[in-house]
Amino acid sequence: MRPGNRSRTSDWVAALRALYSEAPPDLAIFDDAVALRLLPPGLGALVRGAARAPFGTRLAHRLIGSATRGLSYGVPLRTAAIDDAVTRAAESGVRQLVVLGAGLDARAWRMPSLREVTVFELDHPDTQGFKREGTRELPPLAQEVRFCSIDFERQTIPEVLGQHAFDPSARSVWVWEGVTMYLTAEAIDATLDAVAELSKAGSTLAMTYLPREYASPWLRTVSEVGAMWIGEALRFQEDPHEIAARLKQRSFEVEQDDSATEWAERWPPREARRVRPFERLTVARRAGG
């Protein structure tokens, strides 16, 4: 992630969420009407144009999917899979959701299951300033949203959450979506240490990551060059057993670890064939609860 600036990746992910929210029923995975409100003007215009044109959303779906070798198909599925984990936690009585590197995540404004949940969004002040403006007149569906601006080079997660009345004695659910691949192993360990420190037994962590063999060698090269070109180099890949071991060191037990091929079970069969398992999602529970 580029310190001091909004992430280009976050913008494009939000654009894909908005696109699929405008898609015909056989392509729509979930409804994120808020995403369109949060997009920069240029991207917003592209999505609106595609949605208004005959077959425009379907054509955009195909073109972007071909250009990304199926990567784009997994983005709405990934979000929906995490939504399921968050909803399960809320239904079990969890009343705190922490979104790490929240970007343009809109769960607090679109998920009715969060009506009794306080959402803590951690991100750089630049991103949060843009997001505050976009949601100024939009009431959240969550009980409350607390914007927790953080400079990761100078502040710690426990310090910042403590300033916003986060309760470590209560169970929580943590979402870390589409971020870890851009961080160093040291930064990931520091974040996981903070999550473990603040997580009561029974808390849930939902995090995505890239496995080492996330694509063919040539496509990995293309992905890494592309990521460097937009200023967000890919730095971290680990396989499921390594992620599980990293979490176990912090008393988290993996309950789910899957990829887009599993998420695509909710996708129409002819579309599921096009999905590629680039990224994985692990859902882990803090032991003892």
Residue 108 pLDDT: 96
Residue 208 pLDDT: 95
Residue 4 pLDDT: 41
User: Which of the residue ranges 1-10, 21-30, 259-268 would you say has the lowest mean pLDDT?
Assistant: 1-10
The more confident residue out of 183 and 70 is: 183
- Residue at token pair 């890919």: 234
**275 vs 64, 69, 137, 143, 272, CA distance in Å?**
12, 9, 36, 35, 5
pLDDT band at 3 (very low <50, low <70, confident <90, very high): very low
* pLDDT for residue 224 is more than 80: no
Residue 204 pLDDT: 98
Instruction: Specify which residues 176 forms β-bridges with.
Output: 207
- What's the rounded mean pLDDT across residues 69-89? 88
pTM: 0.88
* pLDDT for residue 225 is more than 70: no
Residue 109 pLDDT: 95
Residue 49 pLDDT: 85
* pLDDT for residue 273 is more than 80: no
- Give tens-digit pLDDT for 14-30: 888 888 887 777 777 87
- Give tens-digit pLDDT for 107-139: 999 999 999 999 999 998 888 888 888 888 889
Domains and CATH numbers, the chain: 69-286 (3.40.50.150)
* pLDDT for residue 212 is more than 50: yes
